[in-house]
Amino acid sequence: MNINMNPNGELVQSAVNAPGVIEIPDSFIAEAKQFRELMMMYTCAIRETKTKLEVLNDELAVRNQRNPIQMIKSRVKKPSSITEKLQRRGLPVSVKSVKDNLDDVAGIRVICSFLDDIYTVANMLARQDDVDVLMVKDYIRSPKANGYRSYHMIIQVPIYFSNGKTKMRVEVQLRTLAMDFWASLDHQMKYKKNLDDADEIIEELTACAEMIAAADLRMQRIREKIDERENPPSPFQRDRD
């Protein structure tokens, strides 16, 4: 009995009937290969940076009996977003241009429990002697006009490949769970969309961002009160204060 178990049988057939050889210029193939290699390098830079963050989280969790990091998300920027950003900035679209001009091809988002965890983790990462901090944008101390809050760092980390060490740039965005909730919904609904007559929507979103920031502060104060009850200052410390 001859039963065809391949559910993609039709696909196989259409592949056989595909048109003849398509001429692809060598220069295009070479550039595509370099692009793939560069994306692989950014993926490795993400892995290296994630490990650093996971180590910090593990250590702080043991020391303080709670996790400062709730979640780590990462992505390599999509080719379409890379092209869009280079074109928007009037820059050439080439592998060299990506390497020279873009800081956020490798992106890591660190979701922290509390506001002060953001600064603790950011400072610990920045102090590591193989991490170069190239830029910091503190959108928590200086939020964007629409209420967007996050702590952005562009760092450079060495990655050891077969032919030696290469320093790779990674964008690390640190935010609280509450900031991430706002930014994710803002991103879904509005960010980079040209909405007409959107004043009311923007005002509403900004008002939500302010409420969320206030809630973040209150949650941190609650945690501090609980910490104080669990570890009251010693009488010696109290006398000194």
Nearer to ligand 0O2, 104 or 117 (CB): 104
CB of 187 to ligand 0O2, least distance (A): 4
- Bridge partners, residue 167, by sequence: 158
Residue choice 148, 155, 175, 176 for contact with ligand 0O2 (CB under 6 A): 148
| Contact status, residue 147 vs residue 208, Cβ threshold 8 Å | yes
Residue choice 67, 120, 146, 156 for contact with ligand 0O2 (CB under 6 A): 146
**180 near ligand 0O2 (CB under 6 A):** no
Distance CA 153, CA 173 (A): 6
Helices first, then strands: H and E counts in the chain: 8, 5
Nearer to ligand 0O2, 84 or 116 (CB): 84
What residues have CB less than 8 Å from 214, skipping those under 6 apart? none
**204 near ligand 0O2 (CB under 6 A):** no
**43 near ligand 0O2 (CB under 6 A):** no
CB of 182 to ligand 0O2, least distance (A): 8
Here the tokens at position 23 are 């001429």
**152 near ligand 0O2 (CB under 6 A):** yes
| Contact status, residue 149 vs residue 136, Cβ threshold 8 Å | no
Distance CA 182, CA 140 (A): 13
Other beta carbons less than 10 A from residue 145's beta carbon: 7
Nearer to ligand 0O2, 52 or 149 (CB): 149
Q: Residue 172 burial (CB < 10 Å; 0-12/13-18/19+)? A: buried
What phi, psi does 101 have (nearest 5°)?
-110, -20
Residue choice 187, 218, 221, 225 for contact with ligand 0O2 (CB under 6 A): 187
Binders in 87-116 for ligand 0O2, by CB under 6 A: 104, 107
CB of 175 to ligand 0O2, least distance (A): 10
Residue choice 29, 54, 191, 233 for contact with ligand 0O2 (CB under 6 A): 191
Q: For binding to ligand 0O2 (CB under 6 A), which residues are involved?
A: 104, 107, 137, 144, 146, 148, 152, 183, 186-187, 191
